[in-house]
């Protein structure tokens, strides 16, 4: 097996292209042991389950999507047995979104690769593993499973200057095209997709041109050459989010954390009434304060991770030490718990609950039966609440007066429905 590149891979390709100096800055840090988490282990287990299902689909020798993950409940993947909750919230929805993705691009897909190892061109030792590759007469689909429910991962996002294709999956696609050129014969179009069942946008996808792939390969090659050269360029941005090197990067440890740079807030109420359609000095202040708070939060996460890793290696950090992580207690097993609690006098109603299955669970069952759940059975409750979002968020814009009007209407309805004393 060839030695893996220490400079670039799928997980850091975007960061290296944007900041070639990140490579040398990372080398300046003490070697840190990889610290896993419950969420990472859960994600690995769900990936293993999807790999099993996709290999089973490939063995069926047809283009039918395997939609019976219930058969895998109790099977151990990675470090845990698959539960009904895993199936309902992650596995079944992932399969449903994959089926929808295939429908969008005309159907007729067969499995080409599962956990396919691919080599990136023009960079020695650079390779990666792509979760799933499907092929039809007209398309090659590349799918990346994401099972986290924190930061959403999208196939296309905005960097403030325009649309950017997710560099991690683009790295794998470029590597797959270089490793398996026959897959792309016949002028098949290339599609990348990210399926994140618990994300705000569970399915995002885009078509990628061969020109875009060639340009990305050139960008990565140039970034690698710059990274190993003298005085590589340095840049701070969203690509730094998961980069531990920011704890010693001068672009992060400098004035970025100086709150005095905000120079104090202006008076908000007076300025709001001047011209509500023009950016006031208070609005500009809030934008700077939010950007600063987001950067500080990002910086804190990296510092905490480095602190944990350093202490774990025996390092001494004044005021800090390691302790055992407390985990939530859980029932040992259903049969024993029921028996012991019954001896204490608890009734079945005290011990068990009966409720509707999740929509994902019922939807998966409906798909197996070839029926569709009526739309009127599942509705979103009305809401007068709002949340903040960036200006490039795809959600519809909510005007402040509309929120006020909706709140007033709801209040009037409540008053009208109030019973007389």
- When pLDDT is averaged across residues 220-245 and rounded to a whole number, the result is 90
- List pLDDT tens digits, range 38-56: 778 899 999 999 999 999 8
CA dist 298 and 257 (Å) reads 12
Assigned domain for 336 exists: no
Q: Assess whether 223 and 268 both reside in one domain.
A: no
- List pLDDT tens digits, range 182-230: 999 999 999 999 999 988 889 999 999 999 999 999 999 999 999 999 9
Q: Assess whether 294 and 172 both reside in one domain.
A: no
Return the CATH number at 67: 3.90.320
**Mean pLDDT, the chain, as a whole number?**
82
CA dist 62 and 51 (Å) reads 17
What lies within 8 Å, CB to CB, of 392 at 6+ separation is 158
Is residue 208 within 8 A of residue 191, CB to CB? The reply is: yes
Assigned domain for 176 exists: yes
Assigned domain for 382 exists: no
Q: Assess whether 301 and 194 both reside in one domain.
A: no
Q: Assess whether 281 and 204 both reside in one domain.
A: no
For 388, the token pair is 């903040």
**Single residue among 295, 312, 329 that ends a domain in this structure:** 312
Assigned domain for 28 exists: yes
Q: Assess whether 129 and 214 both reside in one domain.
A: yes
Is residue 94 within 8 A of residue 145, CB to CB? The reply is: yes
Q: Assess whether 140 and 177 both reside in one domain.
A: yes
Q: Assess whether 137 and 270 both reside in one domain.
A: no
More confident residue, 360 or 209: 209
Assigned domain for 421 exists: no
> Which pLDDT belongs to residue 278?
73
Q: Assess whether 215 and 288 both reside in one domain.
A: no
pLDDT at 416 over 50: yes
**Which of 204-218, 364-378, 404-418 shows the lowest mean pLDDT across its residues?**
404-418
Q: Assess whether 296 and 201 both reside in one domain.
A: no
For 312, the token pair is 């774990």
Q: Assess whether 25 and 154 both reside in one domain.
A: yes
CA dist 63 and 139 (Å) reads 14
> Which pLDDT belongs to residue 121?
95
Q: In what order do the strands lie in the sheet with 110-119?
A: 110-119, 127-135, 139-145, 189-195, 203-208
Helix axes 92-104, 38-59, angle to 10 degrees: 50
Instruction: Report how many domains make up the chain.
Output: 2
Q: Assess whether 17 and 136 both reside in one domain.
A: yes
Which 8-state DSSP code applies to residue 419?
A: P
Assigned domain for 244 exists: no
- When pLDDT is averaged across residues 310-326 and rounded to a whole number, the result is 85
> Which pLDDT belongs to residue 1?
35
- List pLDDT tens digits, range 323-350: 887 777 888 888 899 999 999 999 988 9
Q: Assess whether 151 and 110 both reside in one domain.
A: yes
CA dist 166 and 154 (Å) reads 7
For 383, the token pair is 């809401």
**Which of 33-37, 73-77, 80-84 shows the lowest mean pLDDT across its residues?**
33-37
> Which pLDDT belongs to residue 27?
87
Computed over its alpha carbons, how large is the radius of gyration of the chain?
26
**Residue range of the domain that includes 219:** 13-227
- List pLDDT tens digits, range 290-302: 877 877 787 888 8
Assigned domain for 372 exists: no
**Which of the given ranges, 23-32, 106-115, 284-293, has the highest pLDDT on average?**
106-115
- Report the share of the chain in percent with pLDDT over 90: 39
DSSP H or E stretch at residue 158: strand 156-158
Number of H helices, E strands in the chain: 14, 9
pLDDT at 33 over 80: no
- When pLDDT is averaged across residues 230-246 and rounded to a whole number, the result is 87
> Which pLDDT belongs to residue 269?
53
- List pLDDT tens digits, range 104-139: 999 999 999 999 999 999 999 899 999 999 999 999
Assigned domain for 240 exists: no
More confident residue, 279 or 4: 279
């Amino acid at each position: 097996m060839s030695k893996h590149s220490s400079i670039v891979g799928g997980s850091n390709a975007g960061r290296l292209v944007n900041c070639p100096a990140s490579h040398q800055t990372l080398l300046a840090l003490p070697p840190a042991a990889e610290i896993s988490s419950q969420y990472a282990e859960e994600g690995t287990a769900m990936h293993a389950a999807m790999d099993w299902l996709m290999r089973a689909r490939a063995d069926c020798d047809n283009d039918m999507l395997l939609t019976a993950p219930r058969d895998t409940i109790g099977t151990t993947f990675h470090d845990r047995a698959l539960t009904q909750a895993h199936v309902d919230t992650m596995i079944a929805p992932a399969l449903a979104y994959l089926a929808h993705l295939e429908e969008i691009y005309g159907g007729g897909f067969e499995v080409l690769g599962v956990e396919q190892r691919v080599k990136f061109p023009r960079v020695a030792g650079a390779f990666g593993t792509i979760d799933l590759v499907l092929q039809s007469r007209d398309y090659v689909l590349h799918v990346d499973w994401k099972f986290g429910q924190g930061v959403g991962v999208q196939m296309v996002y905005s960097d403030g200057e325009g649309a950017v294709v997710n560099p991690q999956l683009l790295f794998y696609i470029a590597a797959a095209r270089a490793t398996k050129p026959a897959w792309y014969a016949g002028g098949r179009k290339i599609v990348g997709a990210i399926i994140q069942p618990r994300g705000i946008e569970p399915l995002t996808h885009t078509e990628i041109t061969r020109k875009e792939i060639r340009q990305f390969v050139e960008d990565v090659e140039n970034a690698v050459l710059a990274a190993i050269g003298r005085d590589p360029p340095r840049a701070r941005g969203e690509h730094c989010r998961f980069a531990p090197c920011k704890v010693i990067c001068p672009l992060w440890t400098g004035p970025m954390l100086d709150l005095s740079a905000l120079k104090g807030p202006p008076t908000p109420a007076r300025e709001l009434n001047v011209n509500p359609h023009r950016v006031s000095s208070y609005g500009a202040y809030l934008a700077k304060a939010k950007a600063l708070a987001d950067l500080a939060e990002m910086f804190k996460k990296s510092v905490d991770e480095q602190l944990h890793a350093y202490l774990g290696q025996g390092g001494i950090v004044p005021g800090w030490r390691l302790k055992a992580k407390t985990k939530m207690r859980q029932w040992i097993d259903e049969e024993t718990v029921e028996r012991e609690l019954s001896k204490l006098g608890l009734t079945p109603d005290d011990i068990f609950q009966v409720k509707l299955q999740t929509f994902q669970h019922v939807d998966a069952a409906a798909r197996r039966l070839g029926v569709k759940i009526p739309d009127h059975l599942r509705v979103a409750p009305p809401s007068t609440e709002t949340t903040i979002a960036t200006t490039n968020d795809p959600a519809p814009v909510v005007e402040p007066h509309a929120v006020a009007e909706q709140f007033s209407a709801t209040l009037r309805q409540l008053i009208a429905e109030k019973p007389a004393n």
